[in-house]
Chains A and B, each alone.
Chain A
């Protein structure tokens, strides 16, 4: 899966779960996009379902920005 494909799928999940369709890759989920902890869990659940991967609790803290999430997914689906 290419980076572009991951980003495109992420965009769809993110909009479905948060209603947010405009963001920059460096945006922080909490500070810039206004998510709360449950909102992040919801996005993570969407990522797990869409990419068929599992995100263990200890990794959730790594997903702080759109960019970090995309890179995490890319690494996992490799």
Chain B
């Protein structure tokens, strides 16, 4: 019999909350977490705004860490540890009563420890290579979020860190689901983590003209599908889901947020950053996910869009949704979590999965904020500015990344 995968715990570190309750309330009420960058002085960079996680202190989540130990962990991995501990607590799981080799970790990051890398390069240039920290490599490589979570919780099963740029969070959850389905694990801590709001991180995206320059109105800058959108806004944080085999979850009486039904991944094979103009690989990824999960198309009640607020993404994603769903596309609410938290890059798919599962659980669809003027190229129901009550049976969540990677995840009410 096919193994079913459900979500039994979630943890979030985001610009609009570090508890599920705060995250949910702010999402449902359309609160923006974007502001002028505080982590450093962004003057001189075209985009000076971001969705930052403020007042984060790992020791509030894990007091047993010593200050000097925390210094050995890059911010992106610290986010992942905190989100995983929250997810663990939320799941009610007792790892001490489980076989540690049946529990795994798949926490993605698009970039890894770029804050550390930038600091150490500066030291090397200014003071010479002998001043480079011995912790550099162990802090910056992208699989360190997975490594720290495994160490912290004692998870000795499947471990991985998929890197698919802004689709990484989606890939991680999809990969974890497949690993459980095929029988190689019973539980996996899956998600994504990113902390790239650093001068070199922001300057790189700004140079590519990918970012919004609406510096005078930060909270209005992330405006997916709106006619006057002018680029995405960087965000940081982590989302971690406890994925669990259904019978395993049932046996211990776990609370279930929803089922992870299906996952698909395709590639544009077109351009390093720009999406394929006809959106074919995006259309295909949604179709593959629907088909693989035997999902009745008329029971898809919500789409959590990739919705970045860039001119091209939002237009082509809209076209792809219409190509998949036909006339029904116009009656499916489509909203973008990024309108509130910004674009969390490799963590985006994960924090958006948390949002989607909260939507399924509560039968309330969060809005796309800052939607003011209709773009003729984007003519779907984007749940403008105000959320709404609506029953959600199946929900589809898209994440697309540089390199042309496309992922679709489908969740189901259970």
Interface positions of A (Cβ within 8 A of B): 17-19, 38, 41-42, 45, 48-49, 54
Tell me how many residue pairs across A and B have CB atoms closer than 8 Å: 22
How many Å from the CB of A14 to the closest CB on chain B? 10
Chain B residues near A38 (CB-CB < 8 A): 72, 134-135, 138
Q: Mark B117-136, 1 if CB is under 8 A from A, else 0.
A: 00000000001001101110
List residues of B (57-106) whose CB comes within 8 Å of A's CBs.
66-69, 72
Number of B residues whose C-beta is below 8 Å from A? Answer: 12
CA distance A19 to B69 in the complex (A): 9
List, sorted by A's number, 16 A–B pairs whose CB atoms are closer than 8 Å. Answer: A17-B68, A19-B66, A19-B67, A38-B72, A38-B134, A38-B135, A38-B138, A41-B134, A42-B133, A42-B134, A42-B135, A45-B130, A45-B131, A45-B133, A49-B127, A49-B131
Instruction: Classify the interface of chain A: helix, strand, loop or mixed.
Output: helix
Chain B residues near A45 (CB-CB < 8 A): 130-131, 133-134
Residue of B nearest to A48 (CB): B130
Residue of A nearest to B66 (CB): A19
Of all A-B residue pairs in the complex, the 8 with the closest CB atoms, nearest first, are A19-B68, A41-B134, A38-B134, A19-B66, A42-B134, A18-B68, A19-B67, A38-B135
Instruction: Classify the interface of chain B: helix, strand, loop or mixed.
Output: helix
Chain B residues near A17 (CB-CB < 8 A): 68
The residue that A54 contacts in the complex, of B67, B69, B130, B133, with Cβ under 8 A, is B130
How many Å from the CB of B73 to the closest CB on chain A? 12
How many Å from the CB of B14 to the closest CB on chain A? 30
Residue of A nearest to B138 (CB): A38
List residues of B (125-152) whose CB comes within 8 Å of A's CBs.
127, 130-131, 133-135, 138
How many Å from the CB of A35 to the closest CB on chain B? 10
Besides the known contacts A18-B68, A54-B130, 4 further A-B residue pairs in the complex with CB atoms under 8 A apart: A17-B68, A19-B66, A45-B133, A49-B131
CA distance A61 to B294 in the complex (A): 62
Chain A residues near B131 (CB-CB < 8 A): 45, 49
CA distance A18 to B67 in the complex (A): 9
How many Å from the CB of A15 to the closest CB on chain B? 9
Chain B residues near A49 (CB-CB < 8 A): 127, 131
CA distance A54 to B128 in the complex (A): 12
How many Å from the CB of B358 to the closest CB on chain A? 39
Chain A residues near B130 (CB-CB < 8 A): 45, 48, 54
CA distance A48 to B133 in the complex (A): 12
CA distance A46 to B72 in the complex (A): 15
How many Å from the CB of B188 to the closest CB on chain A? 28
CA distance A17 to B69 in the complex (A): 10
Residue of A nearest to B130 (CB): A48
Chain B residues near A18 (CB-CB < 8 A): 68
CA distance A47 to B390 in the complex (A): 63
CA distance A17 to B133 in the complex (A): 11
CA distance A19 to B68 in the complex (A): 6
Chain A residues near B69 (CB-CB < 8 A): 19
Residue of A nearest to B68 (CB): A19
* Central interface residue in A38, A41, A48, by most chain B CB within 10 Å: A38
